[in-house]
Amino acid sequence: MNPAPSTDRVIGFPDDLLFPAKKVYWPLVIVGAFGADGILVLAGQRTNGCVGVLFAPGLESVKKGVRVAEGEAMDWQPRQLVALPDRRFLLCTIGRGGMSIDNQNLFIDGATMAVTPATALVGVAPSGRSNVSERDTSPRDVLFLGDRALIGHGCYYGNVDDYQSFSAVPANGAGDPRPWLQDLDQQMRNVVGTSGPNQHAVRGAALSDRVVLACQGILRSGSHSHTLVAVDPEGKIVAHRADDRARIRDDLLQLAADLPRQSVYIYARGSLEVVDRDLRTVAQAPAGHPFLKGFRLLAGDGQGRLLWSSARRKMFLLSQPEDLRLDDLASSLDAMI
């Protein structure tokens, strides 16, 4: 049986993340990412504030805090946090209420915690689209595939957080964006066999030669065609399978790549599945496992380390690759409780 994670990989919520909650409509959103300088976790709530803490790489201590935004002027929600090769983090945000398409994304410097606008990092609008929100090029997520950064952006419906198009830029940021996978609707019809329009990527993870996307179709107020797809470097779907509606639509859905294993962890409330590059199940945790009911997957480093968060216990836990045995996932999770 795997030993329980050592105490230097478990840490309580720092005071900087426990800012007073306000009685507002918008939920508190927590996002995290592994960077060169440590693990950054941000907590944000529209019209209330957004604060963050940079932990040491092994989660053994708090290095620095950052106040990203506060008060009524914060007219956005955090959507995703991405570690960039230049030691900065990109905070992808979503405007609310007025369905603003203004680029309110932010860079956070991992060394200094300086916060600056990220308006220069954008994709390229898909051709033939006149809808203003479809032509929005502000990143909602960024995946790194080889030497390219794949920017997810644009959505037909202005009140949907997901994205429908990708653009590719050099991972070092030196170059203009080029279209990449801007025909998701067509490929979902021709390759997957879905009939509904407006296919969206909800979450994604990048392996060495493909990205894995959790997708759904949205038509007016309905959701359909819940699917996992694998997309090769040329932007072509090479594998697909139908997926559970509740999992794809879970607001805690998270995908984390494990490059050494060429696998992707897929977490939703109370569930954890590991799939290979062709979307075949490698391991499946028992439904409602106690660990998965108490902890959510927040981020992965791509090498098998995973950051977990427990709102009830007010703590973070860092698991190592050896903590999760794919041939005995249930016992591995038992040891982490």
| pLDDT, tens digit (0-9, with 9 covering 90-100), for 244-275 | 999 999 999 999 999 999 999 999 999 999 99
Please say if the pLDDT value at position 7 is more than 70. Answer: no
In the predicted structure, residue 327 carries a pLDDT above the cut 50: yes
pLDDT tens digits, 27-68:
889 999 999 999 999 999 988 899 999 999 999 999 999 999
Residue 123 has which token pair? 């994709």
> Is there a domain that residue 103 lies in?
yes
Provide mean pLDDT across the span 313-319.
Answer: 96
Q: What range does the domain containing 108 cover?
A: 1-120
92-106, 187-201, 232-246, 298-312: least confident range? 92-106
Query: Does 208 fall in a domain?
Result: no
- CA–CA gap between residue 157 and residue 123 (Å, rounded): 18
Asked if residue 24 is part of any domain, the answer here is yes
Q: What is the mean pLDDT of the chain?
A: 92
Q: Is residue 268 part of a domain?
A: no
**∠ CA 158-247-230, rounded to 5°:** 80
CA distances to 11, 42, 86, 273 from 28, rounded to whole Å, are 20, 10, 28, 26
Alpha helices in the chain (DSSP H): 184-187, 245-248, 290-294, 329-336
> Closest Cα to residue 121, out of 89, 155, 160, 159?
89
Residue 335: what are its φ and ψ, rounded to 5°? -70, -15
Structural domain includes residue 53: yes
Residue 223 confidence (pLDDT): 87
Q: Is 255 within the bounds of a domain? A: no
β-pairing verdict for 165-170 and 178-180: antiparallel
Count structural domains, the chain. 1
pLDDT score recorded for residue 81: 98
Q: Is the pLDDT of residue 159 over 60?
A: yes
Answer yes or no: is 84 within a domain: yes
- In this structure, is residue 55 part of a structural domain? yes
Q: What residue ranges in 171-221 does DSSP mark as E strands? A: 178-180, 199-206, 211-219
pLDDT for 68-116, tens place per residue?
Answer: 998 888 889 999 999 999 999 999 999 854 345 678 999 999 999 999 9
Task: Determine which of 5-14, 127-136, 315-324 has the lowest per-residue pLDDT on average.
Answer: 5-14
> What pTM, to 2 d.p., does this model score?
0.94
Q: What is the dihedral of CA 20, 23, 26, 28, to 10 degrees?
A: 30
- Cα 249-255-256 angle, rounded to 5 deg: 165
Q: How far apart are the first and last CA of the chain?
A: 13
Which is nearest to 134 in space by CA: 158, 113, 102, 110? 158
- The identity of residue 136, as a single letter, is D
